């Protein structure tokens, strides 16, 4: 009997730990009782913003990715500081379009204008929901968003260093970086498909069209005709603010044309084209190019995994009243 009570005593903390671990998991109906209409409120605010400018879509999608890869999906990318020492001030984040930030701020204001929801929904969850909306608004899949993230209180420029993929990455570098967040090569290739939307500044790929190597001024994996078009749009010493579409064919539609472009040597970044030029990832590119459904399915799976990266739940973090500053 004494032994049995010892076993029960031993199992009880284990059981409580398991229960607490379960209760802090993200769940689609996290706000069912506190803010039941959160999804429709965010949807309406994002659609309104999207009608004002298309940039809302790629800007919000990129903002979510940059947030999750640094300190996890905790909306730390949104924090602003007077001394310019936050995540958003790092060179890798400085090109994040203001419309992405504005989308979250407007959606947060809409949520908080509902008395039942005021100060109940995190900026991190609003960013995750807004991201789903812009994917669907541009023709991509609708998917269930897990909720229950809390907002981080810390945001530093230093924390961004070497945490985000660069345009010149090879496959090993990409796989290694994504693997640190529990994302597979297939996840990485599917998430790269977000480059079906949006634009890039000339400086991010100019080395591929002007000074790739002493023997090859133009990157040999780049479609030569496309390279000449890029030179016309991005002449030497071009204004650094000039940006061109990542997908030259359907830049305003979330689709699998990005992968068809890779098959033709029309990946804008080295890190795009390598997905096809490296044999280890080519089969996945070919699959996504041949089937929009296969791409959508893989993208949704990868986005769900991405949305769980480093999240703060339970009593960690806070529900920010103003998305740009800690409470």
User: Known catalytic residue: 66?
Assistant: yes
Task: Collapse the DSSP code of 165 into the 3-class scheme (helix H, G, I; strand E, B; otherwise coil) and give the result.
Answer: coil
Q: Which residues are registered as beta bridge partners of 150?
A: 312
CB 167 within 8 A of CB 205: yes
* Burial of residue 310, with CB atoms counted within 10 A of its CB: 0-12 exposed, 13-18 middle, 19 or more buried: middle
Name the active-site residue from 66, 166, 181, 201. 66
The string of DSSP letters for 30-79 reads TTTTT-TTHHHHHHHHHHHHHHH-TTHHHHHHHHHHHHHHTTSSSSGGG-
State the DSSP string of 206-230: HHHHT-S-SS-SS-TTS-HHHHHHH
- CA 49 to chain CA centroid, Å, is 19
Residue 151's SS3 state is strand
Task: Take residue 204 and report the two structure tokens written for it.
Answer: 């991010």
Q: Look up residue 228 and give its two tokens.
A: 């000449």
Catalytic residue ranges: 66
């Amino acid at each position: 009997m004494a032994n049995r009570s010892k076993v029960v005593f031993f199992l009880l903390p284990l059981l409580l730990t398991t229960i607490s671990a379960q209760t802090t998991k993200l769940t689609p109906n996290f706000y069912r009782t506190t803010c039941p209409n959160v999804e429709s409120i965010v949807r309406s605010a994002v659609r309104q913003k999207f009608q004002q400018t298309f940039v809302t879509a790629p800007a919000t999608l990129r903002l979510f990715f940059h947030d999750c890869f640094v300190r996890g999906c905790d909306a730390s990318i949104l924090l602003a500081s007077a001394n310019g020492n936050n995540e958003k001030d790092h060179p890798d984040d400085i090109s994040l379009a203001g419309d992405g930030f504005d989308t979250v701020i407007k959606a947060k204001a809409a949520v908080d204008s509902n008395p039942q929801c005021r100060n109940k929904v995190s900026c991190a969850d609003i960013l995750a929901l807004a991201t789903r909306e812009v994917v669907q608004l541009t023709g991509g899949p609708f998917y269930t968003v897990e909720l229950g993230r809390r907002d981080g209180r810390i945001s530093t420029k230093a924390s961004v260093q070497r945490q985000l993929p660069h345009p010149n990455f090879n496959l090993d570098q990409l796989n290694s970086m994504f693997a640190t967040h529990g994302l597979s090569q297939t996840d990485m290739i599917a998430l790269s498909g977000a480059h079906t939307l949006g634009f890039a500044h000339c400086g991010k790929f100019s080395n591929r069209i002007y000074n790739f190597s002493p023997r090859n001024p133009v990157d040999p994996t780049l479609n030569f005709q496309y390279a000449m078009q890029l030179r016309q749009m991005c002449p030497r010493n071009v204004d650094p603010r000039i940006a061109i579409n990542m997908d030259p064919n359907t830049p305003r539609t979330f689709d699998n044309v990005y992968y068809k472009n890779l098959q033709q040597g029309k990946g804008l970044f080295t890190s795009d084209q390598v997905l096809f030029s490296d044999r280890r990832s080519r089969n996945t590119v070919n699959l996504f190019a041949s089937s929009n459904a296969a791409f959508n399915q893989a993208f949704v799976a990868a986005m769900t995994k991405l949305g769980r990266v480093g999240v703060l739940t339970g009593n960690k973090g806070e529900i920010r009243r103003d998305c740009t500053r800690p409470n």
